[in-house]
């Protein structure tokens, strides 16, 4: 009788609900070098068999996988963790199987403890151990052969059961499981791994042309160098420059965005391109490319990285308009379509047409621009209005650039609809602008930052909280006075690992706006401004202290460890941040009212912060250097915004020393 070849039965284990997983694995999650990736999944099979599962991971391109055993949680949930240690993208997946040995061993223990005869079960177990011995090699194989002999031998049942229950046998069997019917998750999920600056940094935005020491003169890169010590002293890590390229003359805008420019109006830096060059040239009034290189090197000596603006648009005078007319959209009268955001018109700017039939040539040219500046030492780019360019373009560009330059960081400047912002983050942007500028009440801040830090959004979208920008002077800053600037600074600097300010407008509390708008009066976008940074009311000492606190407390580097605390006054907001090991605990309380003193009772989450409900603990207020001894979960605070509108407490637990005296740690 002919027999067909035997085949293995289908795998019995189901792997579902894997997290983190973005859009079915379409997009990567994000981490920085040294960060952990915690992966969970539902792992289930019919019946009562014991299961085993491993989390598999490796760097993209490697053929060998590393594995870590997953641990069972309630309700068929399993979890494991690995750490990304290289500046390379990673992949991860899950493999699970029926653990026949563990299933057998569990039943054996129950039956033997019930006094039943388990001689048949011991023979079954001996065969499982012999099979594992054949899968093993070396000392493990010899050990398993010996254990199979004992378990299946003629010794007393108690002795054989004891051998089967030994910890050593359990560990050795786990090293050599039968995975012939294992299930592997269908997707290899991806981790976009970046350097620490992607998740942690203080940004300072500055117009180079307004950096001159004396009024009325166009600033240069050498003037920017002279300003570096000032920026570094405030503790900033990144100096972001709006476009530094030649500015077009045709339809140039005048002061305060008037449609006609005067003979000395410099125009908007975002109207890129003139006779002196385009996106790979520098404005001649700023200096030369060699001057720029010297400035970048000088910034690096101050511990500062220079970030450049990627404004993929052109003035009517850009060479692209003449040499590649197919890259622009034409109106029925034959003229090139200029940029509009009704009712605003930007006649000095031509958007690129990403639907052109020559899109490949356009994409390659824009990539060449990025690579040009990388070649000059720039590794951070802020993309201007990225939501007006195709998602596919950004995904292609960022992946292509990071393939050879994984150190490069892209920030998406997109104040637009939530799903557009989220999709830009999924496409590869390391950081994203947010709605923080317009979130002012406790409810607004709590709901928004819970979404950013406690939902799936945190896996792919890193917020960069700008307290102001050249485009946005919020109503809160316009009318809140000096305390309002301090309040927004503390919120931005402590709610997220990345934050920024546009200066010197911010530290000088510039609050003059075009009436009824969020536009600055006499905006630097359209004219030179002279800033007296030596004014005695400059906020730089306060900013420097806040940035020093950021550097001294690693808890502020973990966005996802943000926890809001109840406080019985809606004009006070309180939240905690902790390091993963709870060695660094911060409690931040901010008075959201810039005009009046506010007080209230805070509920401190003692258990979550690792604090004893009985023992007192010390809180060290880092802005004013005061210290208080608090007891229990309910504690009182009072904050006068005219003195300092916030309190940043370092929580120190009482511990007993080896010499038998107490101290706070």
pLDDT in tens, 272-323: 999 999 999 999 999 999 999 999 999 999 999 999 999 999 999 999 999 9
Q: What's the pLDDT at 344?
A: 79
Residue 118 dihedral angles phi and psi, to the nearest 5°: -120, 25
CATH 2.60.40.1180 fits 560-664, yes or no: yes
Q: How is residue 519 written in tokens?
A: 């536009």
pLDDT at residue 3 is higher than 80: no
CATH, domain 101-175, list 3.40.140.10, 3.10.20.30, 3.40.50.1100, 1.20.58.80: 1.20.58.80
Which residue among 384, 559, 593, 621 is the active-site one? 384
Q: How is residue 47 written in tokens?
A: 């019946």
Closest by Cα among 90, 89, 107, 91 to 99? 107
DSSP-derived 3-state class of residue 33? coil
Closest by Cα among 177, 182, 187 to 95? 182
- Alpha carbons 152 and 125: distance in angstroms, whole number: 8
Which residue among 413, 507, 524, 593 is the active-site one? 413
Q: What is the four-CA torsion angle of 220, 237, 374, 355, rounded to 10 degrees?
A: -90
CATH architecture classification, 14-99+182-193? Sandwich (2.60)
pLDDT at residue 585 is higher than 60: yes
Q: What's the pLDDT at 270?
A: 97
Query: What is the average per-residue pLDDT within 158-178?
Result: 95
Domain boundaries, the chain: 14-99+182-193, 101-175, 560-664
Band the pLDDT of 618: cuts 50, 70, 90. Answer: very high
pLDDT at residue 660 is higher than 60: no
With beta carbons less than 8 A apart as the criterion, state whether 66 and 56 touch. Answer: yes
Q: What's the pLDDT at 339?
A: 84
pLDDT at residue 209 is higher than 60: yes
- Alpha carbons 477 and 381: distance in angstroms, whole number: 27
- Alpha carbons 337 and 350: distance in angstroms, whole number: 6
Residues 6+ apart with CB under 8 A from 490: 546, 588, 590, 645, 646, 648
Band the pLDDT of 664: cuts 50, 70, 90. Answer: low
Rg, Å, the chain Cα set: 31
Q: What's the pLDDT at 1?
A: 47
Q: What is the mean pLDDT of the chain?
A: 95
DSSP-derived 3-state class of residue 454? helix
Query: What is the average per-residue pLDDT within 635-651?
Result: 97
pLDDT at residue 135 is higher than 60: yes
413 is catalytic: yes
Residues 6+ apart with CB under 8 A from 541: none
Closest by Cα among 656, 616, 650 to 633? 616
Q: How is residue 125 written in tokens?
A: 């177990």
Query: What is the average per-residue pLDDT within 130-154?
Result: 95
Q: Would the CATH topology of 14-99+182-193 be identical to that of 560-664?
A: yes
With beta carbons less than 8 A apart as the criterion, state whether 204 and 238 touch. Answer: yes
């Amino acid at each position: 009788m002919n027999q067909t070849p035997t085949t293995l039965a289908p795998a019995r284990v189901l792997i579902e609900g894997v997290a983190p997983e973005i859009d079915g694995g379409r997009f990567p999650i994000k981490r920085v070098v040294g960060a952990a990736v915690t992966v969970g999944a539902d792992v289930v099979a019919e019946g009562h068999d014991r299961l085993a599962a491993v989390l598999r991971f490796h760097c993209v391109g490697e053929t060998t996988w590393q594995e870590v055993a997953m641990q069972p949680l309630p309700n068929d949930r399993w979890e494991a963790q690995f750490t990304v240690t290289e500046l390379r993208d990673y992949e991860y997946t899950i493999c699970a199987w029926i653990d026949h040995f563990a299933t057998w061993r569990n039943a054996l223990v129950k039956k033997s403890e019930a006094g039943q005869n388990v001689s048949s079960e011991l023979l079954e177990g001996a065969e499982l151990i012999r099979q594992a011995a054949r899968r093993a090699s070396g000392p493990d194989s010899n050990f398993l052969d010996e254990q199979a002999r004992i378990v299946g031998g003629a010794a007393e049942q108690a002795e054989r059961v004891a051998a089967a229950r030994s910890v050593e046998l359990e560990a050795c069997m786990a090293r050599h499981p039968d995975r012939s019917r294992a299930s592997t998750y269908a997707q290899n999920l991806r981790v976009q791994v970046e350097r620490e600056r992607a998740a942690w940094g203080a940004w300072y935005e500055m117009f180079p042309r307004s950096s001159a020491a004396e009024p009325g003169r166009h600033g240069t890169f050498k003037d920017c160098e002279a300003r570096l010590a000032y920026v570094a002293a405030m503790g900033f890590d990144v100096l972001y420059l709006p476009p530094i390229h030649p500015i077009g003359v045709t339809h140039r805008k005048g002061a305060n965005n008037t449609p006609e420019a005067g003979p000395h109006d410099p125009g908007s830096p975002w109207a890129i391109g003139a006779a002196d060059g385009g996106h790979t040239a520098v404005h001649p009034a700023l200096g030369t490319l060699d001057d720029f290189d010297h400035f970048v090197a000088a910034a690096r000596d101050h511990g500062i990285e220079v970030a450049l603006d990627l404004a993929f648009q052109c003035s009517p005078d850009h060479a692209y308009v003449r040499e590649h007319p197919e890259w622009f959209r034409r109106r029925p009268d034959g003229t090139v379509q200029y940029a509009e955001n009704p009712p605003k018109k930007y006649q000095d700017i031509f958007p690129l047409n990403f639907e052109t039939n020559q899109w490949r040539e356009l994409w390659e040219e824009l990539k060449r621009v990025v690579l040009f500046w990388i070649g000059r030492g720039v590794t951070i780019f802020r993309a201007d209005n990225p939501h007006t360019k195709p998602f596919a373009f950004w995904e292609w560009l960022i992946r292509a650039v990071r393939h050879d330059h994984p150190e490069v960081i892209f920030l998406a400047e997109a104040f637009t609809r939530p799903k557009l912002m989220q999709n830009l983050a999924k496409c590869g942007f390391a950081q994203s602008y947010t709605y923080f500028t317009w979130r002012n009440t406790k409810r607004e801040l709590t709901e928004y930052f819970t979404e950013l830090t406690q939902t799936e959004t945190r896996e792919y979208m890193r917020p960069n909280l700008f307290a102001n920008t050249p485009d946005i002077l919020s109503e809160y800053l316009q009318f809140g006075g000096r305390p309002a600037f301090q309040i927004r600074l503390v919120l931005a600097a402590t709610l997220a690992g990345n934050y920024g300010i546009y200066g010197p407008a911010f530290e000088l509390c510039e609050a003059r706006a075009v009436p009824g708008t969020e536009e600055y009066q006499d905006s630097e976008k359209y004219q030179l401004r002279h800033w007296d940074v030596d004014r005695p009311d400059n906020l730089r000492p306060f900013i420097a202290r806040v940035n020093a606190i950021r550097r001294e407390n690693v808890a502020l580097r973990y966005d996802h460890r943000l926890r809001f605390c109840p406080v019985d006054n809606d004009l006070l907001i309180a939240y905690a941040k902790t390091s993963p090991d709870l060695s660094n605990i911060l409690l931040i309380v901010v008075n959201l009212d810039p005009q009046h003193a506010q007080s209230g009772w805070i509920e401190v989450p003692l258990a979550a912060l690792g604090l004893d409900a009985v023992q007192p603990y010390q809180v060290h207020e880092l802005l004013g250097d005061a210290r208080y001894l608090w007891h229990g979960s309910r504690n009182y605070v009072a904050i006068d915004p005219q003195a300092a509108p916030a309190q940043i407490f370092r929580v120190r637990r009482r511990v007993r020393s080896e010499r038998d005296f107490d101290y706070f740690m």
